[in-house]
Structure 1
Amino acid sequence: MAATGDSSNVENAKVENDADNSDWMSKLPEKLRCEPLKNIAIPGSHDSFSYTLDLNTPVSPSSPDTVRNLVSAFGNMAKKIVYSWSVTQSLTFRQQLDRGIRYFDLRVSTMNGKPELYFVHGLYGAEVGTCLREIKAWTDEHPKEVIFLDFNHLYEMQEADHEQLVATLLSVFDSKLCPVINIETTALNVLWEKGWQVLVFYHHHGIVQDHPELWSGDFMPSVWPNVTEAPKMVNLLEAHFTRGRPPGKFYVSQGVLTPTGTTVLQYISRSLKDVFALIAIKNVQYFMKDKAVGPKGLNIIIADFVEMGDFIPSVLALNHKA
């Protein structure tokens, strides 16, 4: 049974945790510093960049035709609704990193008439290179922290656009990029020795084959419940956990609830944060409470509005269970 399935129970209980976890990896027990990163618990954010979404931009390629038609018919009024249900994070990349987030869920697209690439979710967000440089600057200040960048949705990108993105990644992170190595050797002590701080997962086989600095998306399977009800989310996460992780890979558990068109209409004057965020976090915390880390344990757990509740501390606590 899940913690609760009624958003009304938590509407007025939006506790935010602002603890500084900016160097939590360097403070892990020595035993865990020698473990592959797939065997430790890592907090992540869902649609990590969505705090940058801009109401003044067009509807993004990731949006269904129904959304495009609504915005075409009703203009800014409809766009505000899209915005309210597309924003999944309040914190900047730097703020997320300071709180302890180490996995970023990234979706990128071209924009008509613009040479740059942009983050997208419903609408367009910030230019990709600007955000990557912000992340790189943070890694310079925290040389023992390791970050996962998961480029898992790449919209309307031709080969030249992919090469542009890869060139930006190589230029920004340079020697900090961890090349594809045996996953069993991706332990913190190994990465520290090499000066590697960033693992990039790129979900495009053709591009990955030409760049040893990019990890295939196959190394990062992700369980997306795709439901609107918290008990169903917990049940699906439990079912996948019981079934067991695929060997030799990292593993993402998505502690998120996904709105449908019906959901948006039912709560049309509200937002994803108001309706789903804390209820999902409370329930993913419930899911985690009897779990541990290790080859068969939890690895990367992600959520919306990661500062809410005790999401990040709950994930990090898994690394200190006896």
Structure 2
Amino acid sequence: MTDFCDDLENWMGKMPAELKAVPIINLAIPGSHDTMSYGIKSKAPVAPDADPVVGTLNKYIPCVVKRWAVTQRYDIVDQLKCGVRYFDLRICMKRPENKFYFVHGLFCEEIAEPLDQLKDFLRTHPREFVVLDCQHFYLFNPTDHCVLSAELNRIFDKKIYSRDINQLKDCTLESATRNGKQILIVYRSDACVNDRFWLSQDWPTPWPNEVNSTQLFIQPC
């Protein structure tokens, strides 16, 4: 048990057998909010997910806006090494470049390099499993969804735990490792429904948006 707790880079592979038999949806998995916001640079342009006031503030106090927008200090490789296995992604089609970027109030970086880094980690850590939650999409049209879907399939290919394999309650670390599956992709848009990506209703993430703890705990899940 000491090794399981101390070696965060390989914690899933070192879990006791009885926990590897628990459905992945029932495990407490460390995750990061606005995972890719570490990629926001100084003078990054305002992204379309930002409130209008953010654009105004960014003209006068960009350093403050950047500190607000960056919710993660570690890049994806360091997050993985620290044991993070759930990643919250917000993706925008940036025009006229016609390239996909991560966003959180401000533009982060293009999606290609971090996703390739994730793929490399999975290749060298065959007993680890991650959830890639594509939470929000901005400035997307149906063609953009098709292109992004194809890119995710290209990058992760046979490592994807597909929706057509079984129900989510049947996805365990034991079965995933046995079948060479290491990544579950949740794609929260009706514009991209296929047999490989999971839907919002498969992996609910309720957000009560309350400032009062009493109201928070009475919210339905």
* C-alpha distance after superposition, 1:95-135 (max 9, x if no partner): 11111110000000011221210000011011112111010
Q: CA deviation at 1:170?
A: 0.7
Q: CA deviation at 1:56?
A: 2.8
Q: CA deviation at 1:235?
A: 4.4
Paired residues of 2:57 and 2:65 also in contact (CA < 8 A): no
Who is 2:33 aligned against? 46
Q: CA deviation at 1:225?
A: 4.4
Number of residue equivalences: 214
1:68-87 equivalences under 5 Å are: 68-71=55-58, 75=59, 77-87=60-70
Q: CA deviation at 1:70?
A: 3.3
TM-score by length of 2: 0.90
Q: Which amino acid aligns with 1:157?
A: F
Who is 2:86 aligned against? 103
Who is 2:46 aligned against? 59
Who is 1:206 aligned against? 191
Q: CA deviation at 1:20?
A: 4.0
Who is 1:251 aligned against? none
* C-alpha distance after superposition, 1:221-241 (max 9, x if no partner): 2233435x6xx3x5455434x
Who is 1:177 aligned against? 160
Q: Which amino acid aligns with 2:95?
A: N
* Displaced runs of 4 or more, over 3 A: 234-240
Who is 1:196 aligned against? 181
Indicate how the Cα distance of structure 1 residues 90 and 20 shifts in structure 2: closer, same or farther if over 3 A, else same: farther
Q: CA deviation at 1:187?
A: 0.8
Q: CA deviation at 1:165?
A: 1.1
2-structure distance, mates of 1:237, 1:63: 25
Who is 1:239 aligned against? 218
Structure possessing the higher radius of gyration over alpha carbons: 1
TM-score by length of 1: 0.63
1-structure distance, mates of 2:61, 2:209: 23
1-structure distance, mates of 2:174, 2:168: 14
RMSD: 1.7
* C-alpha distance after superposition, 1:14-72 (max 9, x if no partner): xxxxx64011111111111111111211110000101001233310000111222333x
Query: Structure 2: 5+ residue runs without aligned partners?
Result: 1-5
2-structure distance, mates of 1:149, 1:110: 18
Percent identity, please: 34
Higher RCO (CA-CA < 8 Å; seq separation 6+): 1
